[in-house]
Structure 1
Amino acid sequence: MSLLICGSIATDHLMTFQGRFRDSLVVEQLDKLAVSFLVDDLEIRRGGVAPNMCFGLGRLGLRPVLVGAAGEDFVDYRSWLERHGVDCSFVHISDTKHTARFVCTTDSSMAQFASFYPGAMSEARQIELRPIVGQVGAPDFVLIGADDPEGMLRHTRECRQRGFPFIADPSQQLAFSDGGLIRDLIDGATYLFSNEYESHMIESKTGWSADEVLRHVGTQVTTLGPDGVRILTGDAEPIEVKAAPGVSAVEPTGVGDAFRAGFLAGLEWGFGHERAAQVGCVLAAYVVETVGTQEYAFTHQQFVDRVRTAYGEQAAADVAAHLSTVS
């Protein structure tokens, strides 16, 4: 059995300008805008929803399969992921395009100039899942995260046609998708992941009520930021799990991806929804306390201790039973 994680692969290039952009702008001349800014630093961070989730799964001792498209510049990133337990054998490498890239400069007032280059991500639509499954085995789940929309649609339809259980996680693509596309991406999903705002956007764009959305998916998992997570399944009682306590928040980017990784790890370990969500919340806590989506670290004992502090002895014992077998 395998766990396929499909989604964007990208790098973030983040720069800081100590002044204010507005001091260099002449309102009457914006149609002739041509300015440059001397920045003080450059941070290059690994990103993309699929590698972020795969990294978290790898930290918990699983070996997820990364499915996505990148450029020939993916070499160093691939090495990093493989060192952290991620199978990158099936990443599509473009012959002509660079890996997707987000470039952003932030000034002292937190104003930003940013651009996103999709690059090789647009070739995700060329990836077929069947040959991958033929080599790694039948999937426990195929998670379909934000990516090239045509690629997301192809993966979703293939999962339905071949009977692969899939998880719909359209996240950032919701804002750019119409109701028909969103309905196609989530209908028949075993799980639907979103944050609270995105859950309302799904209802608004699809025209489905909250109950109708739930009738089209097996389980809806909605993250609630610092309030934790809510899990709805058919006629079962709602499950609400509080976020892990004692968090020193630094940077929220990638927190949702980490939660998903922890939740999926819990499912792979055979946990019920509540326990799986607790694992997700603890992994998310590590990310929010760190600058960068894949810069956090912990020993397995530290992770178990944090589960114990947040959710009690039994939760810690359940998690330890799985992590104790992983080096």
Structure 2
Amino acid sequence: MPILVAGSIASDHLMHFPGKFSEQLMAEHLHKVSLSFLVDELDIRRGGVGPNICYAMGQLGGSPVLIGAVGADFDDYRSWLVSHGVDCDHVLVSATRHTARFVCTTDTEMNQIGSFYAGAMGESADIEIAPIWDATGAHLAVISAYDPAAMVKHSAECREKGLRFVADPSQQITRMDGPELLQLIEGAALLFTNDYEKQLLESKTGLSSDEIDARVGVRVTTLGSEGVEIVGDDVETVRVPVAKERSKTDPTGVGDAFRGGFLTARDWGLSWQRAAEVGSLLATMVLEIVGTQEYSVEKDEFTARLAESYGDDCAAEVLPHLS
């Protein structure tokens, strides 16, 4: 069934610094940092949280519906997404602004320094979720990182209309204040964060982990190299390790791929554990490449890698759902 995915739509300008950021930063001078990093690589890629999640869903044969705001420069990107199974019919096109842009530099230890230009994303609050829900026959709305006002508005609309939704504040936790974050997560069927974002969410809202859990159905926390943890009132705690990797190239978009794989596998009716395993393998596939949408899911290879990381039973359960 269709899943609505609201999130940033952007191009990614990804650079590699052949050194360590930590060696360039002096603790006693952090209040007046002025640094320029000479990079040795530049890749310009399609990106944005919304399309990254949708692309992952499309690779698994899901039915993602992208929601967000773009500029008139979106045509080529639209064609790419549509050709990979993403419904872009409900994307808002701004008459005056360019599509958003993410500029990020990664060092040799996979640390990142990035900047994000919002552009047309600032018009996302003009979008209403309910009409798109009705038009597409969706059963879930994912509210991921983009314009904070839009995120809060969409969450409130979902509660008011009784629409099942996922809260995925991601990078915008740093920009949103405690009351905004509470409005976003309240009543969410699922809450996605990484471990650092979880702690920041607790700090900004003034709530404990248990108090946040009481406001959502299930909390899914990615733990970097330690895998993922899933907790909820009706869910026995699940911990899943990361999938076995071939290499580490660039972490950009890893979390988005995990979410797309996880939500698609849950839509298939698979268990929390299996969903986390599918999502973790997609995340690893993104880690192995430069760019967030440069991988493809081939049925035989994908199930072989699932078996390698999580056993034959996992592969056997997933196989019937892959086209």
Letter in 1 for 2:210: D
| Map of 1:180 onto structure 2 | 179
* Runs of at least 5 residues in structure 2 that lack an aligned partner in the other structure: 20-31
Which deviations, in whole Å up to 9, do the C-alpha atoms of 1:109-150 show, x marking residues without a partner?
99999643211000100001122122111x221000001011
**Residue matched to 2:49:** 49
Larger radius of gyration: 1
Question: How far apart, CA to CA, are the structure 2 residues paired with 1:237 and 1:18?
Answer: 43
Q: How does 1:257-268 map to 2 (within 5 A)?
A: 257-268=256-267
C-alpha contact (below 8 Å) 2:218/2:235 kept by paired residues? no
* Partner-residue secondary structure (3-state), 2:139: strand
Which runs of structure 2 are paired with 1:219-230 in the superposition (5 Å)?
219-230=218-229
Partner of 2:126: 126
* 1:305 partner SS: helix
What's the TM-score once normalised by structure 1's chain length? 0.88
Q: Aligned residue for 1:158?
A: 157
Could you tell me how far 1:107 is from its partner in structure 2? 9.6
CA distance in 2, matches of 1:108, 1:215: 39
Tell me the CA shift for residue 250 of structure 1: 1.2
C-alpha offsets along residues 140-172 of structure 1, whole Å, 9 cap, x if unaligned? 210000010111111101100111100000010
**Cα distance in 1, alignment partners of residues 289 and 232 from structure 2:** 32
* Cα offset, 1:296, TM superposition: 1.4
**SS of equivalent to 1:77:** helix
Q: Is the CA contact (8 Å cut-off) linking 2:245 and 2:285 kept in structure 1? A: no
CA change 1:302–1:72 in 2 (3 A) is same
Q: Which residue of 2 aligns with 1:190?
A: 189
Contact 2:2 2:62 survives alignment (8 Å): no
Match of 1:24 in 2: none
Aligned-residue Cα RMSD (Å) equals 2.8
Letter in 1 for 2:279: G
Distance 1:234 1:15, change over 3 A: closer
Residues 162 and 311 (structure 1), Cα distance of their counterparts in 2 relative to 1, 3 Å cut: same
Structure 1 residues 268-321: Cα deviation after superposition (integer angstroms, max 9, x where no partner):
100111111111111111000111111112311111111111111111111101
- The corresponding residue for 1:88 is 88
State the partner residue of 1:22.
Answer: none
Distance, in Å, in 1 between the alignment partners of 2:148 and 2:270 is 32
1:98-177 paired onto structure 2 within 5 Å:
98-103=98-103, 115-137=115-137, 139-177=138-176
Task: Decide whether aligned partners of structure 1 residues 222 and 299 sit closer, same or farther in structure 2, where only a CA change above 3 A counts.
Answer: same
Match of 1:207 in 2: 206
Q: Equivalents in 1 of 2:262, 2:110: separation in Å? A: 33
2:62 match: 62
> How far, CA to CA, are the matches of 1:124 and 1:89 in structure 2?
15
Q: Which runs of 5+ in 1 are unaligned?
A: 20-30
The alignment partner of 1:147 has SS state of coil
Against the structure 1 CA distance between its residues 42 and 282, is the aligned structure 2 distance closer, same or farther, given a 3 Å change threshold? closer
Aligned to 1:237, what secondary structure does the other structure show? strand
Of 104-113 and 193-202, more deviation after overlay is shown by: 104-113
Q: Which residue of the partner structure matches residue 12 of structure 2?
A: 12
Which residue identity lines up with residue 297 of structure 1 in the other structure? S
What is the distance in 1 between the residues matched to 2:65 and 2:106?
A: 34
Aligned residues of 2:130 and 2:158 also touching (Cα < 8 A): no
Corresponding residue for residue 28 of structure 2? none
Question: Does the residue aligned with 1:213 lie in a helix, a strand or coil?
Answer: helix
Aligned to 1:217: 216
Structure 2 counterpart SS, 1:121: helix
CA distance in 1, matches of 2:166, 2:112: 33
Question: Is 1:307 aligned to 2:306, yes or no?
Answer: yes
Cα gap change, 1:213 to 1:104, in 2 (>3 Å): closer
Structure 2: distance between partners of 1:110 and 1:311: 25
Tell whether the 8 Å contact from 2:245 to 2:288 is kept in structure 1 after alignment: no
Provide the rounded CA distance (Å) in 1 between the counterparts of 2:129 and 2:209.
Answer: 31
Which amino acid in the other structure matches residue 62 of structure 2?
Answer: L
Give distance in 2, aligned partners of 1:199 and 1:49. Answer: 18
Size of the alignment, in residue pairs? Answer: 314
Distance in 2 (CA, whole Å) between partners of 1:106 and 1:262 is 25
